Every structure is written in C-alpha cells, then in structure tokens.
Structure 1
Amino acid sequence: MERNRWLTLAIITCLVLCSDGRELKFKFKHKKHASIYNHTLTNIVVHYASAVYVSDLTELFTWTCSKCDGVTEGFQMIELVVDVQSCLQAFVGVAKDPYAIIIAFRGTQEHSLQNWIEDLYWKQLDINYPGMDDAMVHHGFYYAYHNTTIRSGILNAVKRAKEYYGDINIIVTGHSMGGAIAAFCGLDLVVNGNAQNVQVITFGQPRIGNAVFATYYHRLLRNTIRVTHGHDIVPHLPPYYYFFPQKTYHHFPTEVWLYSVGLEFLSYDVEKICDKTGEDPTCSR
C-alpha cells in the first residue's frame, strides 16, 4: 500500500512538471509579441551572422561558401568590407527572402589582439548624437564602428543597394562584438541616414551603453531583437550593477532568451521573450 502511494505521488509530480513545461513553452508565443519577434525571420538572419565569419573572402564575396546556401540561397553580395588594421569584417547585400538589404558584422576573432582591446575597453564615452543628453556608450565598440573604415564602406554599399533595388527594408545583424557594432550601425542609419525601415537582430550581444542610451535607442529603433543563450557569458558584459543602474551598462529590449529545459524523460528548448526593461532579472541576467 505504501509503495502504491509513492508511485502515485511520483506520477502526479511528473504530470505537474510536464504541464508547467508546456505552459511555459506556449506562454512565450503570446500574440502581443507577434509583430515584434519573428522566429522564422530570426532563424534566417542567424545564417548571415554566421556566414560573415568565413575567412575565404573569395567564397564569401561570390556567396559560394559552405554556409552560403539553404535559407540564404540567392543572396546578392553588394560589398565585402574589411578593415585589416582593426581586424573587422562585414558585408552588405540583398536577400531574396526576406527581400531586404542585409548588413552583417563579424564578431571577435580569437587571435586578434585588436578585437580583444575593443571588447575590454569598457570606459564610457559621451555620444555625440542629437537629443541624446547624458547618454554614454562603450568606447571600444563605438570606435570600432565610427573610427574605422567599416562605417564608410557600409554606408556606401547601402547607398548603392538602394539606388539599384529601391528603398527596401534593412536588416542589421551580428554576433558577439559584431552584434554590438550592428547595434551602432542600425542607430547610425536611423539618426544620421534618416532611414525609416531598419531592423536590428543580434546574437549574444554585449551591453553597449548606459540606461539613458538604452532608453533613447529603444525609442528610435523599437524593432530590435537581441537573442541570448542561457550559457553565453558575453550578454552579461560589461557587468550590470543592480544598485547603480544609471552608472552601469544597460541592455535595451527586446531580449529573446533561449535556454533548455531538461528532464529525465523530456528535453526541449524554450524561447522566453523579455521586453519590459531590457534587464529583466527573470531572463538571461
């Protein structure tokens, strides 16, 4: 009899856990997020964020690399932008689906001292953008975009793409440091380029500015997605100090946090959407 009671309790516990897991999984696909986060689009964009790491520039430019097929098939390269001195790489091209200009930035190169200096140069810098009083940004990432040949190469390529393809949508992406640079590029296109159709989707992006900057950014580019993973340390840097939010770096929404739920008999990935403050403690922070 005692054995049967324990068996019944074990079964009920398992059912509760399964029920909670399913509820969690579907809860994050609430309709109010449908116009903000598009899983299919993000799954396509991540392939571009991955392809920009290809070191064979000929294969990358001709879009014949091992990562240059599948959902990115038919991509037309406009410009491959490389700053050798700063060890930075990006490209601009036009995708068939979604029909848009794609701008992708490479992240940190493991053996690049210059990249590590940019990553670790956490000193905050006053940003010289109109209307952004008291906004401060990550010195290294800001300079990687604004004080190298990357910016001019990107803007010239975007101009040529628009002259040929018209005023189509622009999607800016990147992983890690590339995500940080992509965020600055998207802001630049909106503030200085007067673009109205820019979307930023980044992966494993570190923080790039203080709370004031995050607020301004969200007002200007509401259609911004920052995908993070449960085991990635980079989105936690520079560190967030809970008791000094105005004095530290701060993420802007919307974050899509990917993590795994693993039970002995069931394992699946979960997407949790966090868009309240950009620093929701129930998410990756």
Structure 2
Amino acid sequence: MEPRRWLAAAVLMCLLVLCGGRELKTKHAPIYDPALARTLAEYTSAVYTADLTQLFTWTCERCGDLTEGFEVIELIVDVKNCLQAYVGFARDMNAVIVVFRGTQENSIQNWIEDLFWKQLDLDYPGMPEAKVHSGFYSAYHNTTLRDGVVRGIQKTREVYGNIPIMVAGHSMGGAMASFCALDLVVNFGLKDVILMTFGQPRIGNAVFASNFKGYLPNAIRVTNAHDIVPHLPPYYRYFPQKTYHHFPREVWIHSVGLGSFVYSIEEICDGSGEDPACSRSVSGNSVQDHIHYLGISMHAESRGHCRIVTDDTSLQYKMDPNGNIVFSKQPGLSDDELHSAQ
C-alpha cells in the first residue's frame, strides 16, 4: 500500500477510535444500544404503512426482520389531525412498544418552513418557567392518541406484567413520543420507560430540557447527518433561556474518513442537548437525510395526505363521532382468534 494510503487509513482509524469507539454507560448498562436503535427504527418505519389492516395484523412489508412476531394491541388514528400511533408487545424483548407517526404532509417542506416561525407559547404543567411548543404538546395531550396509547399500555401490561415500555417516533412523531414518555413517568408514575426518537425537532426551552433530563436521564435522540428537522425550531444561542433547546442525549450519525476511506459512525454527544460538535456542527439543510435513518425508510408509502386504507372487512374497528378510528384487541390472541372474535 502506498504511504499516502497508509496515512489515510491510520487517520481514519484514529477518527473511529475518537468518535465511534465511545460507549456511554451507567453503572449497570450502556445508555445507547446500536442494536436496539435499529430495531426501534424498524418499528418506527412500520407506522408509516398506509394499510391499517396490514399494520394491525403485522403483515405489512415493513413488519418483519428485526420486528418479526410483534403483536399490535392498539392502533389509533386521529383522522381530523392526521395523527397515528400504535401499542403492542415485542415478545423477543419482553417489552411494550409505543410508536408515533411523523407528519403526513403532501410536501414535508411546508411543515419544515412552518417550524421556522414556531414560538414557545405554553407553560408545561408543574414545571415553573418551562415552556414548550403548544402544537407538539397538544398533538399528544389534546387528541385521541393519549387515551388510546395509555389504554393499550395498560391492557398489554395486565397480560404480560410490568414489563419495560419503549416509546419511539420519527419527526413530529418523535416530538409526540417525547411528551408521551414524560407523561408516563410524571403523571402515571411508571418506571422502566425507554425513549428513543429519530429526526426529532426541538420541543421546549432550556428549563424544560433540564426537567426532562431529570425524569428521563437515558432518553436518546438519534439525528442523521444534515437532517434539517433537528435544527428546528431554531436555536438562538444569544438567548439561551428564551429559545428552543434540545433535551439530551443526542446520538449523531455521520460519515468520517479521508478520500475513499469513509465510514458511518454513531457518535454519542455530550449531556447538554446542544453539543456544538454534533449535528449543530453542520448545516441542517437536507430533507433526504430526514427520511432515511440507519438505512431504513422513514416516510409514507404514498404521497396521499393522511391516506387511510383497510382491505379486510373481517377486521372491525371502532369509530367515534369525530371520525377517529381505533383498532383494538385483547393481548395474546392469534391472528385466527382475532378474526373469529370480530
């Protein structure tokens, strides 16, 4: 090998040791688990499935590989606000999985442009001086999602015990997932709540972020390369108490290397939530980086706005006066038992 290539290889190895070789640990276990991140990314991708029947029966194209054998207990669709979440049981991990869908705008660019102008406008209950984005807060707290998610968690744990609860979401779904995880800890007193989001926007100010860290110290926000959404709403460093501020801890996926030696790493960032050496070190200008995480698609199967499809009339669902849809079943039913019970 030429000396120059040897040098490039040596520099790359140093970069990998410095950036990718760190493993953040508590006294008992690592805070960030790359294998868990890939599994939760697959669960998060599945929520974008347009066919609700396939999603509820876990037969969709994205419902396999690392998530095979998952049992959906509750699938909630808030039609008016174009929101969706599901709750179920992952037997291989012995855990409740809760996943929120991201924005379903025909053009995600419209939603991104809107985030530039969002202001902190809601006091979070019980946290003096903690302010949050009212739209993200209301999307979880003031719609049908909260009741459906809590009901699904309770049903699952009644059958499978007080197992851990893993909450995930992408984009706006990550914002709702964050409020959900905090809600479960603060208002329901639940333990073993694990939060991991992908491409999540900022949702509150520095006081809120500090409180959030106190309740969910091991929460993870995965960000990808130049993804534009984690840069929104904007962070104004000259007004730290008045601006939006991410809660920790970020894990930034990006490429390092020289020349043809390029390697993707998952860099564990500092505990500030706004590590200047992580995603804030680059311009957030890519929508493409927003809709692909860990090689997994994070966008809808079609461009239809809040498209809802059901192709199996034997699966009944409940619809409230506002047109909201809930697929629900008792935990432990097989697919055959599910169909015969309808």
The normalised TM-score by structure 2 is 0.76
Do the aligned residues in 2 keep the contact of 1:122 with 1:139 (CA within 8 Å)?
no
The alignment status of 1:79 with 2:104, answered yes or no, reads: no
Please report how far the alpha carbon of residue 166 of structure 1 lies from its aligned counterpart in structure 2 after TM superposition.
1.3
Equivalent-residue separation in structure 1 for 2:20 and 2:234 (angstroms): 31
Do the aligned residues in 1 keep the contact of 2:209 with 2:245 (CA within 8 Å)?
yes
Equivalent-residue separation in structure 2 for 1:26 and 1:148 (angstroms): 40
The answer for the alignment partner of 1:122 in structure 2 is 118
The answer for the alignment partner of 2:85 in structure 1 is 90
The code of the aligned residue for 1:164 comes to V
The answer for the alignment partner of 1:28 in structure 2 is 22
The answer for the alignment partner of 1:210 in structure 2 is 205
Matched residue of 1:228: which SS? strand
Equivalent-residue separation in structure 2 for 1:112 and 1:146 (angstroms): 25
Equivalent-residue separation in structure 2 for 1:264 and 1:86 (angstroms): 47
The code of the aligned residue for 2:191 comes to Q
The code of the aligned residue for 2:15 comes to G
Identity of aligned residues (%): 55
Matched residue of 1:107: which SS? coil
Q: Which runs of 5+ in 1 are unaligned?
A: 1-6
Equivalent-residue separation in structure 1 for 2:215 and 2:24 (angstroms): 24
Q: 1:222 aligns with which of 217, 221, 236?
A: 217
Equivalent-residue separation in structure 2 for 1:205 and 1:193 (angstroms): 24
Do the aligned residues in 2 keep the contact of 1:119 with 1:141 (CA within 8 Å)?
no
Residue pairs, 1:251-270, within 5 angstroms: 251-270=246-265
Residue pairs, 1:51-66, within 5 angstroms: 51-66=46-61
Equivalent-residue separation in structure 1 for 2:4 and 2:160 (angstroms): 61
Please report how far the alpha carbon of residue 16 of structure 1 lies from its aligned counterpart in structure 2 after TM superposition.
4.5
Change (3 A) 1:10 1:219: same
Structure showing greater relative contact order (alpha-carbon pairs closer than 8 Å, 6 or more residues apart): 2
The code of the aligned residue for 1:126 comes to L
Please report how far the alpha carbon of residue 158 of structure 1 lies from its aligned counterpart in structure 2 after TM superposition.
1.1
Equivalent-residue separation in structure 1 for 2:40 and 2:16 (angstroms): 27
The answer for the alignment partner of 1:3 in structure 2 is none
User: Cα deviations across residues 21-69 of structure 1 (Å, max 9, x unaligned)?
Assistant: 3323543236569521111111111111100000100000000000111
The code of the aligned residue for 1:194 comes to G
Do the aligned residues in 2 keep the contact of 1:119 with 1:177 (CA within 8 Å)?
no
The code of the aligned residue for 1:139 comes to S
Q: Which runs of 5+ in 2 are unaligned?
A: 281-342
Change (3 A) 1:127 1:19: same
More helix by share: 1
The alignment status of 1:111 with 2:90, answered yes or no, reads: no
Do the aligned residues in 2 keep the contact of 1:87 with 1:112 (CA within 8 Å)?
no
Please report how far the alpha carbon of residue 128 of structure 1 lies from its aligned counterpart in structure 2 after TM superposition.
4.1
Change (3 A) 1:128 1:31: closer
Change (3 A) 1:148 1:119: farther
Equivalent-residue separation in structure 1 for 2:79 and 2:98 (angstroms): 18
Change (3 A) 1:162 1:124: same
Please report how far the alpha carbon of residue 73 of structure 1 lies from its aligned counterpart in structure 2 after TM superposition.
0.9
Residue pairs, 1:185-200, within 5 angstroms: 185-200=180-195
Equivalent-residue separation in structure 1 for 2:18 and 2:261 (angstroms): 14
Equivalent-residue separation in structure 1 for 2:146 and 2:167 (angstroms): 13
Equivalent-residue separation in structure 2 for 1:201 and 1:11 (angstroms): 38
Change (3 A) 1:83 1:242: same
The answer for the alignment partner of 1:4 in structure 2 is none
The code of the aligned residue for 1:63 comes to W
